[in-house]
Amino acid sequence: MGNIVNFQTDLLRTFVSVIDLGAYTKAGEALGRTQPAISLQIRRLEELVGAPIIRQVGRTLLLTGEGEMLLSYAREMLRLNDQAASYFNRSKIAGVLRVGLPNDYAVSFLQGVITEYTREHQGISLEIHCGWSAEILDRLRADELDLAVAMVNNERAQYLSRSWIERPIWAAADSGELDLAKGIALAAHPEGCAYRARMIQALDAAQIRWRVAYTGSGIGGLQNAVVNGLGISALTRYTMLPGMRALDDSDGLPPLAEIRVGLFYKHPRLSDAGIRLVNHIIARLDEAGVSGDPVRRPIELDRQ
């Protein structure tokens, strides 16, 4: 049996801190270490991996292929370590948690999961901020949020912990009649919504005429518009309501492109309460059968 490599959690925590905070100096400040000490720990980690994990191009830090893989494992190992530490510490979990949720995802499901957690921990004050995914991630980068659920775009996946695939469903009123020859009335979020874009792309590709009959940013208004027959829309299984039916190719509608949704947070900045909430969300996603692997793609970080 070959030598077993032990990845010390302090080395992994340094690595994740450098990635999440975007610089060796910022990681050092967060962890109470000097920049040379941080650099030394990264080199030690590279010795254990047997390959470079971070390379610098100009002022930008880039993850290597091995670094991407290690980041995925490191987040999970630190999450389990911190979960165990908070369990045995038995300290009172308290504080304010600021959570960002997207307008155009299953807000009701996630709000239920998050408020369930806060009911179990009376010392926690919850602030939920809803907005478009890009805006939510900007707020997370600016430290205005502790954790966020947002659409994963293909350019960057900074702070991404878990991601999963959602395939939107065409939803219509139970009593609604569909006549493709007359065109489709849509109920949609305003421009910029991933679901709106997928509806239009699918209908255009199938050469089906459409018009937007209802526009609103709130999920409740969109659901009411569908139930009342104002238009059909793209929803997730969690936002389907009584009075709606799902449409598919048997109704003549093309399938909608899938959407990747992610759970984002800055691990070095997360409190015990935040770590526990992340674990709670991941457990509920696993139970619901929607949790998947982290997205592994190059992450570009500004070294400032």
Q: Are the C-beta atoms of 273 and 135 separated by less than 8 Å?
A: no
Structural domains of the chain ordered from first start: 9-82 (1.10.10.10), 169-251 (3.40.190.10)
Which residue shows structure tokens 């490191």? 74
Per-residue model confidence (pLDDT) at position 182: 87
Per-residue model confidence (pLDDT) at position 301: 38
Per-residue pLDDT of the chain (304 residues; tens, 9 = 90+): 467 789 999 999 999 999 888 889 888 888 889 989 999 999 999 999 999 999 888 778 889 999 999 998 999 899 888 878 777 765 556 678 899 988 766 556 777 888 888 887 777 888 888 888 888 999 998 989 999 988 887 655 788 888 888 888 999 999 877 888 888 999 998 877 788 888 999 999 999 999 999 998 778 888 999 999 999 999 888 788 899 999 988 889 999 988 888 889 987 778 878 888 888 888 887 777 664 544 333 333 333 3
Per-residue model confidence (pLDDT) at position 296: 37
Annotate 2-22 with b (16+ C-beta within 10 A) or e (fewer): eeeeeeeeebbbbbbbbbbbb
**pTM > 0.85: yes or no:** no
